Structure 1
Amino acid sequence: MESSEKSNRLFNTDLLRSFVAVIDARSFTAASRHLNSTQSTTSQKIMRLEEAAGVRLVDRGRDGITPTEAGARLLGYARRILALNDEAAAVMSGAARAITLRLGLPEDFASGRVTRALADFIRQHPNTKLEVTSGLSRDLNRAYLQGELDLVLVKQHRGEARGAMHWPEPLAWFQGAGHALDECDPLPLVAFPSNGLYRTQMTAALDSAGRRWRLVYTSSSLAGLLSAIDAGLGISLLPRRVVGLGLDEIPSLPNVDAMEIAIHQADPNTPFVSEIVQILADAVGK
């Protein structure tokens, strides 16, 4: 009987939801705001979960709250349990027939494995409507802040806004294979439109290094930028993640601090949101 009660306490969804929130926010304070709770209540729930599990689940360090080895193992199960719980609640209440999720994605994520995973989600939840908007991160973030999107994956400056989850986005300089454009004076640049991501960092880094530059090509499309770089029109500062074969990295140009990828969600209790967040997290982590 004692073993059965311990198992039930371990998989208590309220405790698991607090655990996931603390790990994602890396802070008891931020997680408590996210949960509309108090820091002491959230801390007590983590302690109850640790007591039920019989192991320590979180570490408190200078970089915030991180999962222990046991906590990392539990985290994946917790997300799956919460997703299934939310789905069951939605189906039983009839909410699944009326749910519309509005998702915003940058262009480089709105294809490939993310699209396939979202298609699988729709097949599994045919009564849930998923509206996906693709665009520049600044436009997606503006729409999210105006309440036009429920969930967004965006690129942002590190620490700009605390998201539900976030990852570093290392940047590097690239040019087309066989094009020694880094030797040009001024440097020909390929960039997103004014105020677009990476453009300010790119020109500021060159100005600080005393390198002259000129803008030769502008596009709001990542595919357009990659095509221009490959053709030898100019060089650009881009995430290493999005650059495939055919482009050469330029190590001689100044280093630029990494950006970050963040997931922002309006209401974590909306049915199926946790499943979409996991799909996005899997895509970023690969």
Structure 2
Amino acid sequence: SPAEGEILCTLPMRWLTHRDRAAQAVPAPLPLVLFNHPCLFRQAALAALDRHRLRWRAALTTPSLPAIWGALRSGPGLAVRTDHGCPDDIVALTGHPALPDLPEIELRLLRAPDPTRAATRLAETLRAETLGRLAPGGISRATR
């Protein structure tokens, strides 16, 4: 259930493209590079486009993150993810007038109801590392 677990941080979803195409006009219909269903990023993108009645087409559907990056590099296309961990040549189109706003995604730590001591230590290590990388300084929200 979405209400389970400890929220470690929230991250904004972004429209992403290759840096060489960031200044170009957004093609219509929008060529989307999507993860296979089910995917929260895919669902958010399609819901936002449907709300704004924007036409789109699936340029690529894949289960592979490297394939997403490759598709963005090889041709016009837009993907939706957070910008955390993006390769240097993939950029966010933040505030682009032709693209609808996207929601934030919550990063949650799920734990078993009665974890062992080792599992508790592992969960605390994962929590600390995640917050250190995504929300430095202990803030509860990570944005770039």
Q: What is the aligned partner in structure 2 of residue 228 from structure 1?
A: 71
1:179 to 21, 31, 50: 21
- 2:83 match: 240
Any conservation in 2 of the 1:172–1:238 contact (CA below 8 Å)? yes
State the 1:246 CA deviation.
0.4
Residues 282, 227 of structure 1: alpha-carbon distance in 2 compared, 3 angstrom cutoff: farther
Structure 1 residue aligned with 2:33: 190
Query: Structure 1 residue 273: deviation in Å?
Result: 1.2
Task: Provide Cα deviations, 1:226-272, integer angstroms capped at 9, x if missing partner.
Answer: 22212235111101212131012113121111011111111444121
SS of 2:128 mapped into structure 1: helix
| Greater fraction helix | 1
CA deviation map 1:153-192 (0-9, x unaligned)? xxxxxx8222044321221111011125652010100011
Partner of 1:29: none
CA distance in 1, matches of 2:54, 2:120: 46
1:179 partner amino acid: R
Percent identical across equivalent pairs?
25
Larger Rg: 1
Deviations 1:118-159 (A, max 9, x none): xxxxxxxxxxxxxxxxxxxxxxxxxxxxxxxxxxxxxxxxx8
Q: Distance in 1 between matches of 2:129 and 2:40?
A: 20
SS at match of 1:256: coil
Q: How many aligned positions are there?
A: 128
Contact 1:171 1:259 in 2 (8 A): yes
The Cα RMSD (Å) is 2.0
After the TM superposition, which segments of 4 or more aligned residues of structure 1 sit over 2 Å from their partners?
230-233
Structure 1: unaligned runs, 5 residues or longer: 1-158
1:277 matches 2:123: yes
Q: Whole-Å Cα distance in 1 between the matches of residues 70 and 128 of structure 2?
A: 27
* TM-score (structure 2 length as normaliser): 0.78
Q: Which amino acid aligns with 1:262?
A: R
Q: Secondary structure at the match of 2:125?
A: helix
**Cα distance change of structure 1 residues 182 and 263 upon mapping to structure 2, 3 Å threshold:** farther
Structure 2: unaligned runs, 5 residues or longer: 134-144
Match status 1:208 vs 2:54: no
